[in-house]
Structure 1
Amino acid sequence: MSVRNLEYLMQPRSVVVVGASARPHSVGATVLANVLQAGFTGQVMAVNPKYTELSGCPVVHRVRQLPAVPDLAVICTPPHTVAQLVSELGHLGCRAAVVITGGMSAAHKAAMLAAAKPHLLRILGPNGVGLLVPGIGLNASFAHVPALPGKLAFVSQSGALVTGVLDWAHSRGIGFSRFISLGDSSDVDFGDVLDYLAADRDTQAILMYMEDARAARKFMSAARAAARSKPVLVVKAGRFAEGAKAANSHTGALAGSDAVYDAAFRRAGMLRVLTTEELFDAVETLSSARPLSGERLAILTNGGGPGVLATDALIGSGGALATLSQATLSRLDAVLPASWVRANPVDIIGDAPGGRYSEALSALLQDGGVDAVLVMHAPTAIVPAVEVAQAVADAARGAERNILACWLGGDRMVAARQVLDQAGIATYATPEDAVNGFMQMVNYRRAQQALLEVPAACSGECRIDRMRARTVIEDALLRGASMLSEPEAKEVLACYGVPVVETAIADRVEAAVMLADRMGYPVALKILSPDISHKSDVGGVVLDLGTAAEVRAAALAMRSRLHAMLPDAHVRGFTVQAMARRPGAVELIAGASADPVFGPVILFGQGGIAVETIGDRALALPPLNLALARDLIGRTRVARLLAGYRGRPAVDVDSVATVLVRLSALLADLPEVLELDINPLLADEHGVLALDARMRVAPAATRGAQRFAIRPYPEELEEAVQWEGATLVLRPIRPEDAPQHAAFFAALSPEDVRFRMFSAMHGVSPAQLARWTQIDYDREMAFIATRQGAAGPETLGVARAVADPDNESAEFAVVVRSDLKGRGLGTMLMNKLLGYCRARGTQQLAGEALPDNERMLQLARKLGFSVAAAPPHGTVALRLVLAEGAGEPDGRAE
C-alpha cells in the first residue's frame, strides 16, 4: 500500500478525536485543544463515554454514534482498545487515522492493521506526536507549539525531535506545508509519505529526520521519484552507532550501515546533512539559489583573514576556487587599489566603500569561469555595513549567477543582513557557514546530475557463464562450505569476465612443487584452509618463490607455523599461482556485502593488506552501469593515483569500472553470494587482474535480483520476434539506450511528435532523455523494438506504462518511428506491454490521445480500449480494464 487514501490523512475536511478528555495535560485533552485552537474550518467531533461536550465540541459515547463520517480520526486511547476502534471507524467509512497511542505491543499492532485492511484505512503511527497541516489550520497532534504555514514538508521518526524542531522553527518564522510524525510506521512510512509529497503542490521541498528505513525497495523507488521533482534533504541519526562487525571479508568489515545509508541517499538523489540546523540552512540556501552551471567559487572580501578561512573551508569540503581570467583581472585593476593581490580571493582592502564592492562584484559576475560569488564584509568604522550591503544588493540585481554573503559580526550587522535577505541573497554569519551553504548547492547539483547522467555501454563483449558459476557454488554448498576456496572464488569471477591470475590447488607439499614446475617460476604459495579468511595474518602467503626447493621449504614452514598458531584449523593443502608482474600497478579492492536493510552493496577503494587501516573506500547500491561505477571510483582518494602521477601512465579506469558492473551482474544472478572480495585487484594502463579473491556463500531463499533495493534490468523480459522477415528484439529500455533513443526521437515527424507530446518540440533535452531511458523498473516499464542497423543498434518503437504507487492504474503511451508506421510494430509493442501489466497485477491501463490521431485511436479500439472524449483537455480518453473488479480509482464523493 502506498498513497491510497492518504488524501484523507493529509487534507481532511472533518476530524474526530477518539479519547478526547478534560483531564489537564492528558494526550486526549491536548490533542482536542490543538485541533480546536489551530483554526481548522472543517467539522470537529469527539468520542468519550464520560462526556457529552468538551470545550464547546459535542462528544458522543461510541464511534457508531458519530453524526457524520469523519475523514480523519485521531486515536488517543489505551493500546488494547485501538484495534476495535479502527474496525468501527472502518465500518463507518473513515479512511485515515492518526494513532497517538504509545506502548502498543506487536500483537496490538498486528490486530490494528488487520482491522484496518478490509477498509483500506490508512494509519499514521502509532506512538507518534501526530500530524500538522498549517495551510488548513489542522493540528492533530500533542505538540506544544503550532506550525506556521509554509512550503516545507517535515517528516520525522522521532517524536522528541518533532517537538524540538517545531519550537526551533517557530522561533525563526519557518513554516511548513505538512509536519508529519511517523511514530512506529506500522502502516504509513517514509515511502508512502514521499510518494504523496512528491505530487503535493503545496510542498516545495521535503525534509526528513530518519533513524532507519524499512521496505528498502519501496523507499528507494519513492525517494528517487521525489528527488526528481523537488529537493529532498535528510538528517540520518546513528552515524557512529553501528559498532564493530565480525566479517569474513574486508568488504564486510568496511561496509558499515551508515555508509550504506549514505550510498542509498546518494543513489536516490537526496541531499544528506548532519544536523537539523544544517537541514534548514540548506533549505534556505536552495530556496534562494539559481541552478549552478558549475562549481567554481569567487570570493570577494575586504579582509585577508576571512578570505583565507573561506578558501580553507572550500578546499577542505572538496570545492573549487575559480581562476580569474585576464579580462577580469584587468577590470579589477581599473577599480581596485594598486596593492591588491590580483588573485582569488579578491581582497579589496579594509577601507572599501560600497562603490568598490559593487564594481568588483560586477567584474566577477562577467567572468565566464566564475559560477558563484561569495561576498564577505568585516565591519570597520570607515564605511557603514548597511551602505555596503545596499551596494551589493544593487549590483546583484538581475545577476544570473548565485551570490552568497557573509557579514561578520553580531547584533550591529542585523540591519545589513536584512538588506541582503530582502534582495534574495542568502546570508551567513561566518565564512565557514557561507562555504557550507555553497557546497550544499554543489552537492545538490551533483546529486541531480547523477540522476541524469547517461552511461556508456560496457566496452568489449563478455560472455557470462552463469551455469558454470552456479555449479561451483552448489558444489561448495553440498560439502557444507560457507567460504569458497580461493580457486573456486576466482573461477566464479572468471565466469563473469573478471580477469584472474592462474591458480591451482595442491593437496600436499610435493604436489605444490609439481604445480610450480608446470607453471614456471616465480610463483606465489598460499595456505588453503576454510578456517582462515585472511591468510597473510598467519603467515599463510609467500611470494616470489624461484625454485622447487624454495616452494618445498615454504610449504613445510607454512604448515608447521599454522599448526603452532591454530592447531585446530583444517588444512586442505596449498594454492599455487604464477607471480603477476605488473610493475607500477595500483592495488585496489572491489567487493560486495549484504546489508540487512538495503541488501547487496558494492565496495571499491584502495586495496592491499592494510585495507582496513587505510579506510579509503566508497559504497554504491547495485545495479551499476558504467556511469555509476565511475562515480563510485571517483569518490575515493585512490582515484587520484589512477589518473597517473610522476610519469606513471594513467590506469585504464574503464576496465576497473567494468569489473564493478560485472560484480553487480554476479550479485543479481547468484543470490547465494553474501560477501565477496577481490583484494588486491591490480590495475594499470593495460587493464586489471584479480590476484586474490574470497567469497562467502549460503543457500538462497530468493532470487538474486529480489534482494536489490533497486530492481535491476529485467533481462528475463527480453524476447526475439520475427517482423517482415527480420529478427527484432523486444526488451525493456536501458540507460545505455539514450543515444539511439535520441536518434529515434529525431526520426519522428513533427506530426508524430505533436501526437506523442501534445505540442511541438524541437529536439530533446538531456534531462528528458535521461527520464525516458533511466526508468524505475519497479514502477514503470518501457519496451522498445530494436534491431541491429548498419551504424549500430536502432530503436524502431516504444510502448511505455507508468503505474501509480499502488499499481492500480498505469498511464500508457506508444509511438513507432514515422517511416515504419502501419506495419504492426505498435500492435506488437502494445501486446508485450499489456501482457506485462496483467502479469504484474495492474488493474487498468489509461491514456490520452489527440482527436486527430486516427492511427492511435484505431489501435486502441483494436486492443479493446474504451474511447471517450475528454472535453476539458480537448483530448480522447483511452481506458482498458485488465483485472476483474477494477473501476475508477477511489475518491471523495463531491
Structure 2
Amino acid sequence: MHRPAEPAQRLNASFTQANALPGELALVSQSGALLTALLDWANAERIGFSHLVSLGEHVDVDFGDLLDHLATDRHTRAILLYIESITAPRKFMSAARAAARAKPVIVVKAGRVPAGMRAAASHTGALAGEDIVFDAAIRRAGMLRVDTLNELFIAAQTLARFRDNPSRDLMVMTNGGGAGVMVADAAAPLGVTLARPGAALMRRLNAVLPAQWSHGNPVDIIGDAPAQRYVDTLKALFDAPEAGAVLFVHAPTAIVPSEDIAQACAPLIAAHPGRVLSCWLGGDTVAPARRLFEQAGIAGYETPEEAVRAFSLMQTYRRNQAVLRETPTATANAEPDRARARRIVETALEAGSEWLDEIDAKDLLAAYGIPVVATLRVPASPAAAAEAAGRIDGPVVLKVVSPDILHKSDAGGVRLDLRGAEAVRAAAEDMLAHLRATRPEAVIQGFSVQAMAQRPHAKELIAGAHVDPIFGPVLLFGQGGTAVEVLGDRAIALPPLNRTLARELIGRTRVARLLAGYRDHPPVRIDALCDALIALAQLLADQPEVAELDINPLWADEHGVLALDARVRLSSLAPSGMKRFAVRPYPAELLRRLHWQGRMLLMRPIRPEDEAQHREFLEAADPEDLGMRFFQAMHPLSHDDLARMTQIDYEREMAFIVVDEHAQDGPCTLGVARLVRDPDNVDAEFAVMVRSDLKRRGLGRLLMQALLDHALANGTQRLVGHVLRENRAMLGLLKTLGFASEPDADEPGAMVVASRAVRPPAGSA
C-alpha cells in the first residue's frame, strides 16, 4: 500500500505537498496521480477526509483489507473507491457486503469499455461483458456505482446529508419557471417522478402565493418573491406528506438579495434535516447564500441537472440496499437429481465433447427441475425423423443435431409446425440438402423431433450462464429469440440466487414490463421464472465443468416456464462450481441430523428465509436469557436487526441453528450458535443461545462443538467470547471444553473466554 494520508492523525506520507482537510469521507484510489489531483480539487471545494489511500500495485493490502478497516472506523461516515481492477473477487465481495451494511460505499470503476471482447459461441457469452458484470457485483454488495469522479463527490455529499430521506418522488420549489422546466426535463430520463400536490397542499399554497403561481409541481413562487414567501412555501411543503423531498432552486434577482433569502430559509430547513436539496443558480452573486446553506448542512448543487442526478443516485442506492436486506421467500424447487446430472456431464467429457447436444442439454436442465419440451433423438435419416414424428400427437418441430451448428435457426437447421410424417420426411430431406450445400464441413449427427409447443401467451426469454474471468460464474436474463443480441435487453447477476435476487434480476430488463401482463395477456408466473433462475445458479454450483449455458427461447406464461432449446458448453478445466462463486453460496454440506432427547433434530447454517422463525425464537426467550446474550435489555426487533442475524456472509461468518422440523406448530428453532471471524482469520468471536425451556440439556454443548469443528475446518486459530459472570452455566460448559477465562477490561461484570488454539499458529513447528 502506498501514499496514505490520515487527516485526523495529521499524517501525510504521500507525494503531494497539499494536506487534506479533516472530514468523514475515506477515499481509496488505485491511482496515486489521480489521488493527488482529487486532493487538490477537494481542498478547493472544502471537502474533508478521514483517510486518503493510494493502493498502487497492492502487493499485500488490497480493497478488501481497507474496506474491512474503514467499515469499523469511527471517523469514517462514507467510503469512496476508485477501482481499476479487482484481484481477489470473493474477498472483495465479502468485505464490500459487510462495509455496505454499515455505511455508504460509492464506487467509480475505470475501464468501462474494454478495447476488445473475445468472440463467444453462445448468446450468453456474447452478451455478458466485463463492465456489466462489475456493475452486477456492485449492486449485489449494496454499494452505489457512479460514472464520473464528479458524481463520486456528489453522491458522497447527498448520502451524507440526505441518506435517511425515504422519498421516491421529488417536489420542486423555484422562483423561475425556466429552472422548473430544466428540472422536469432532467428528471424524466432518469426515472425521477415529480410529486403530485394534494388538495390540502394546494389550499396552503394558494393562501401564501400570488394568483399567477404555477399551481403544480414545480412550484413556481414567481421571480419577485420576498424572503417571507420562501419561508411560507417551505412551511407548507414541510407539512405535506407528498413533499417528503424538496428541491430548492433559486435564480438571483435584483429585487431581493439571495443572501437574505438564505438567512431566512436556512434555520427552517436545518430544523427539517434530510428534507431539502438546494441549487443556487449563478456565481458570485449567490456565493454567500450557497455558503450559508452549506454551513447549515444542506446538500447543494451547481445546476438543476446535477441536483436531479443526485436524487436519482439516492434512489439507486436505496434499491441496492433494499435488495441487500430484503427477506426472500423460499423457492419451490425440489432437490436436484445431481447423480443424473453428473452422468450427463461425465459421459460427454469422456467422449471428448465440448458441447452437449440439445437432448443432453435439456436432460441436464430437467435434472434440476427446469421444465423442458420432450424431445426424441433420431439418426440423420428422413425416414427415422418421419417415424419419430408419428409417435407424437400434433404438429412437431424438426431440428438438426450437429456439434458444428450451434445457432440452428441461422443455419436453416430448424423447421416448425410440421404436420404428419410426410411433411417431416420432406422437411428433413430439404434440410439435409440445404446444410450439405451451405455447411459442408458440419458433421450431421442426426435430428431431434419434439412436439410443437402451443402456448399463445408465452414470452420468449433467454436465461443463461457464463464464466467471467474476474467474478467467476454469472447469470444472464433477458428478452430472447433469434434477435437477442440486436435487442440487447439483458441483465446480469452473480449467483447464488434466491427469489428476491431473481426478481430483482428480472426487474432490470425491459421485457419485465410485458411479464406483468397487458391487454388480454395475463401476468407470467414470476415465481416459476424465479425458481428456474435459482435452479440454474444451483446447477453452476454443482457442475463446475459447465462453462457456458443458454436457454433460448425460455417460454414464460401464466402456466409457468418451458425450455424449448438449450446449449451447454463443457470444459474439463472446471471453470465454474461454487469455489469460483464471488459470493459464497449456502453451505448445504454442513447440514446434519442429530439424535437428542429421543428426538430427531436438524442442525444447519442459518439462511435469510429463517427471519420469521428466528424472530419467534428470540421473542419467546426469557428477558433474563436475552440479557445474558446481548448484555442489555432487548428493544423490539426490527427487520434490519433480524436481517443482520439471518443474512450472513458465509465467507466470514457462521450461525448454526438447531431446528425441530416436526414441532406441533411447524418448524421451530431451538438454539443458535454463531461466530464472526476477523479479516485475518486469527480470532473468531462467538455467541450461543438455547431456547429458555431447554437449557442444561446438552444443546449448548452440541452447538459449541459445531463452532469448534467449523473453526478447525476453516483454519481459525481461536474462539473468543464475552460472558457475564452470573452466566455460570455457560462459563462451566466452556471450561469443560478447554476455554480459559479472565475479567473483561472493557465490560464490567463480564469475562473474556478464549479457546485453546484450534490449529497451530502459522509458522509454528
Q: State the TM-score bracket (shorter-chain normalisation).
A: over 0.9
Which aligned pairs between 1:118-133 and structure 2 lie closer than 5 A?
124=1, 130-133=3-6
Task: Tell me, in whole angstroms, the C-alpha distance in 2 between the residues paired with 1:718 and 1:872.
Answer: 36
Q: Are residues 1:802 and 2:704 paired?
A: no
Q: 2:36: which partner in 1? A: 163
Matches within 5 A, 1:718-729: 718-729=591-602
CA–CA distance in structure 2, aligned partners of residues 210 and 580 of structure 1: 48
8 Å CA contact 2:354–2:571 kept in 1: the answer is yes
1:732 pairs with 2:568:
no
The answer to whether the 8 Å contact 1:292/1:442 transfers is no
2:164 aligned residue? 291
- Alignment-mate amino acid for residue 483 of structure 2: A
State the 1:131 CA deviation: 2.3
Go from structure 1 to structure 2 and tell me whether the alpha carbon gap of 1:390 and 1:297 turns closer, same or farther (over 3 Å shift): same
**Matched residue, 1:883:** 758
Partners of 1:292 and 1:445 within 8 A in 2: no
Q: Which is further off, 397-406 or 741-750?
A: 397-406
Q: 1:877 to 1:218 in 2, by over 3 A?
A: same
Structure 2 counterpart of 1:26 = none
Superposed CA offset, 1:832-886 (max 9, x none): 1111111111111000111111222122122221122224411111110233555
Give the corresponding residue for 2:110. Answer: 237
Deviation string, structure 1 residues 800-841 (Cα, Å, up to 9, x no partner): 010001110000000011122122111111111111111111
Q: How far 1:730 sits from its partner (Å)? A: 0.5
Deviation at 1:576, TM superposition (A): 1.3
2-side partners of 1:608 and 1:354: how far apart? 60
Deviation at 1:713, TM superposition (A): 0.5
SS at structure 2 position matched to 1:235: strand
- Pair 1:826 & 2:683 matched: no
SS at match of 2:436: helix
Residue 359 of structure 1: aligned partner: 232
* More displaced stretch, 281-290 vs 689-698: 281-290
Matches within 5 A, 1:131-146: 131-146=4-19
Q: Which aligned pairs between 1:563-578 and structure 2 lie closer than 5 A?
A: 563-578=436-451
Paired residue type of 2:455: R
* Identity among equivalent pairs (%): 56
Q: Is the 8 A contact 1:242 1:257 kept in 2?
A: no
Match of 2:614 among 738, 741, 750: 741
Aligned with residue 868 of structure 1, among 733, 742, 759 = 742
1:282 corresponds to 2:132: no
What residue in structure 1 maps to residue 348 of structure 2? 476
Correspondence 1:521-532 to 2 at 5 A? 521-532=394-405
Residues 682 and 242 of structure 1: CA distance in aligned 2, closer, same or farther (over 3 Å):
farther
Aligned to 1:858: 732
1:200-219 residue pairs with structure 2 within 5 A?
200-219=73-92
CA distance in 2 between partners of 1:703 and 1:647 (Å): 41
Q: In the TM superposition, what whole-angstrom CA distance separates every residue of 1:541-583 from its partner, at most 9, and x where no partner exists?
A: 2211122222122212222222222210111111111111111
Cα shift at 1:379: 2.5
In 2, Cα distance between the equivalents of 1:658 and 1:552? Answer: 38
Asked if the contact 2:132–2:492 (Cα under 8 Å) also holds between the matched residues in 1, the reply is yes
- SS of residue matched to 1:178: strand
Preserved contact between residue 844 and residue 886 of structure 1 (Cα < 8 Å): no
Q: Does 1:585 align with 2:442?
A: no
AA at the equivalent of 1:281: I
1:754 paired to 2:754 = no
Range with bigger deviation, 285-294 or 729-738: 285-294
Distance 1:548 1:580 in 2: 18
Q: Partners in 2 of 1:412 and 1:238 — Cα distance? A: 40
In the alignment, does 2:409 pair up with 1:554? no
Q: Which amino acid aligns with 1:492?
A: L
* Amino acid paired to 1:202: H
State the partner residue of 2:337: 465
Aligned twin of 2:386 = 513
Say which structure, 1 or 2, has more relative contact order (CA 8 Å, 6+ apart). Answer: 2
Within 5 Å, give how 1:15-94 maps onto structure 2. Answer: none
Q: Of 328, 335, 357, which aligns to 1:485? A: 357
Question: CA 1:686–1:135 in 2, change beyond 3 Å: closer, same or farther?
Answer: same
The residue number in structure 1 matching 2:178 is: 305
For residue 703 of structure 1, report the CA deviation from its aligned partner: 7.6
State the superposition RMSD in angstroms: 1.8
SS across alignment from 2:356 = coil
Determine the C-alpha separation between the residues in 2 that align with 1:814 and 1:781: 12
467-476 or 761-770, which deviates more: 761-770
Please state whether the residue corresponding to 1:815 is helix, strand or coil: strand
Amino acid in the other structure paired with 1:799: A
Moved more, 489-498 or 376-385: 376-385
What's the CA shift for 1:151?
Answer: 2.4
Matched residue type, 1:792: G
**How many residues are treated as equivalent by the alignment?**
760
- Equivalent residue letter for 1:881: R
Does the 8 Å contact 1:365/1:401 carry over to 2? no
Q: Give CA deviations for 1:585-609 in whole Å, capped at 9, x if unaligned.
A: 2111111100011000111111111
- Matching residue's letter, 2:476: L
TM-score (norm 1): 0.83
Offset, 1:689: 0.9
Counterpart mapping for 1:136-535 below 5 A: 136-241=9-114, 243-399=116-272, 401-458=274-331, 460-507=332-379, 508-535=381-408
SS at match of 2:139: helix
**Conservation of the 8 A alpha-carbon contact between 2:397 and 2:414:** yes
What is the CA–CA distance in structure 2 between the aligned matches of 1:305 and 1:162, rounded to whole Å? 38
- Is this contact kept in 2: 1:242–1:256, CA < 8 A? no
Distance 2:167 2:371 in 1: 38
2:686 is matched with which residue?
812
1:848 — aligned with what?
Answer: 722
State which drifts further: 130-139 or 528-537: 130-139
Contact 1:149 1:175 in 2 (8 A): yes
Gaps of 5+ in 2: none
| Shift in CA distance, 882/509, structure 1 to aligned 2, threshold 3 Å | farther
Q: Give the SS at the match of 2:755.
A: strand
Contact preservation (8 Å) 2:476, 2:492: yes
What residue number does 1:711 align with? 584
**Which whole-Å CA distance do the structure 1 matches of 2:422 and 2:531 have between them?**
40
